[in-house]
Amino acid sequence: MHLNKRPLLLNNPREDKRFSGVKWPENVRSILTVPMMAQSRLIGILTLYNKKRSEDGFSPADQRLIAILASQSAQVVEGARLYEEEKTLLAMKQEVQLAQEIQANLLPSEAPELPGYELAGISIPAKEVGGDYFDYIPMANGRMGLTVGDVSGKGVGAALLMATSQATLRGQVVAEEDPAVALGKTNFLMCSATRRGTFVTLFLAMLDPETGAVSYANAGHNRPFIVGPDGRFEVLTTGSLVLGFMKSHTYQRAEYVLEPGETLVIYSDGVTEAMNPDSEQFEEERLYELAARHQGDGANALMDRVINEVKRFAGEREQSDDITLLIVRRKP
């Protein structure tokens, strides 16, 4: 039946040579089996046994009648299946829409004004809903918290984890002067409140605009870098474990003074791991060189150049990961 997809009529199955090895039950005298077809696909089989009030078994007329019933039944079954699929698809679309709304509300609509500095940020999801986010967090005494994070997973689950981690981090940044302590407390709360296996990579910097002092801590995120007006760059190498992995982990703090004309570039792995049609990655070196050539153009212009260059490099290859940038330039 699965191979030929044709009706089978047996009025004496025990004597049919095609089934010589089959041991039929004693009460089976005749069989009529008809395929249920929908769009040239076998979706079921309609089988009848032992026609009543007939010593001769099933007839060709019976076969034609059952074939019509099987065809009509197949359409009903297929219609029901498509209806269930449509409901599932609608539910998925609503879930994606909800996740998009959550993410859109989390990302800053514009960069804040910070005298003496240029700030620019963007996050481009690979699919309908991304796992990256960035944020500007106003602090006491005019300081500014700057963060880029990458949440594990996709969809509503990732969006909710993003919302949780952002709200937790914001609360700690406002209350703490030390980024390492803020990450440590955020990590403790995340480990306590989220299920095992979910995690966030996150870079947190606290900028004092008066002095240019940047204190930072890194929880397993890509290492940001500083590029100067002469094109030289320095990678901020201090880092540690991702958030949500080990509740008692202590994070490291490091310092850097952002001099006039220097630019801080914070990015996600969607930038450096973007791939072209030959499966080559964009990699850090291209990003460093691009930033060195164009850091004097300003934060927004540099951000646009990086995004355009990553897209040009990838060509027709589909974006496989979220692309997120946060750029801070201290004006000369």
Q: Of 89, 124, 140, which closes a domain?
A: 89
Q: What domain range includes position 67?
A: 8-89
Tell me: do 112 and 79 sit in the same domain.
no
With CA atoms as reference, report the closest residue to 216 among 257, 169, 254, 166: 254
For residue 2, is it within any domain?
A: no
- The neighbour count for residue 197, using CB atoms within 10 Å, is 9
Here the CATH number for the domain that contains residue 34 is 3.30.450.40
Tell me: do 143 and 211 sit in the same domain.
yes
For residue 1, is it within any domain?
A: no
- Does the pTM exceed 0.95? no
- pLDDT on residue 121: 96
Tell me: do 28 and 137 sit in the same domain.
no
Residue 176 binned pLDDT confidence (cut-offs 50, 70, 90): confident
Average pLDDT over residues 119-135: 83
Question: How far is 262 from 290, CA to CA, in rounded Å?
Answer: 15
Tell me: do 172 and 279 sit in the same domain.
yes
Average pLDDT over residues 202-216: 97
For residue 95, is it within any domain?
A: no
Contacts by 6-11, CB closer than 8 A, 24 or more apart: 6/35, 7/32, 7/33, 7/34, 7/35, 7/63, 7/66, 7/67, 8/32, 8/33, 8/34, 9/33, 9/58, 9/60, 9/62, 9/63, 11/56, 11/57, 11/58
Q: Of 56, 89, 122, which closes a domain?
A: 89
Tell me: do 157 and 199 sit in the same domain.
yes
Tell me: do 47 and 133 sit in the same domain.
no
pLDDT of 158 over the 80 cut = no
Residue 178 binned pLDDT confidence (cut-offs 50, 70, 90): very high
For residue 102, is it within any domain?
A: no
For residue 96, is it within any domain?
A: no
Overall number of domains in the chain: 2
For residue 99, is it within any domain?
A: no
For residue 15, is it within any domain?
A: yes
For residue 100, is it within any domain?
A: no
Residue 2 binned pLDDT confidence (cut-offs 50, 70, 90): low
Question: How far is 198 from 153, CA to CA, in rounded Å?
Answer: 8
Tell me: do 83 and 115 sit in the same domain.
no
Tell me: do 236 and 324 sit in the same domain.
yes
Tell me: do 152 and 47 sit in the same domain.
no
Most confident range (mean pLDDT) of 17-26, 50-59, 79-88 is 79-88
Q: Helix (H, G, I), strand (E, B), or coil: what is residue 33?
A: strand
Q: Decide: 59 and 9 in contact? Cβ < 8 Å.
A: no
Tell me: do 185 and 43 sit in the same domain.
no
Tell me: do 72 and 153 sit in the same domain.
no
Tens of pLDDT, residues 85-99 = 888 888 877 777 776
- pLDDT on residue 89: 85
Here the CATH number for the domain that contains residue 251 is 3.60.40.10
Q: For the chain, what is the mean pLDDT? A: 88
pLDDT of 107 over the 90 cut = no
Q: Of 55, 89, 123, which closes a domain?
A: 89
Tell me: do 18 and 121 sit in the same domain.
no
Q: What backbone phi and psi angles, to 5 degrees, belong to 29?
A: -110, -30
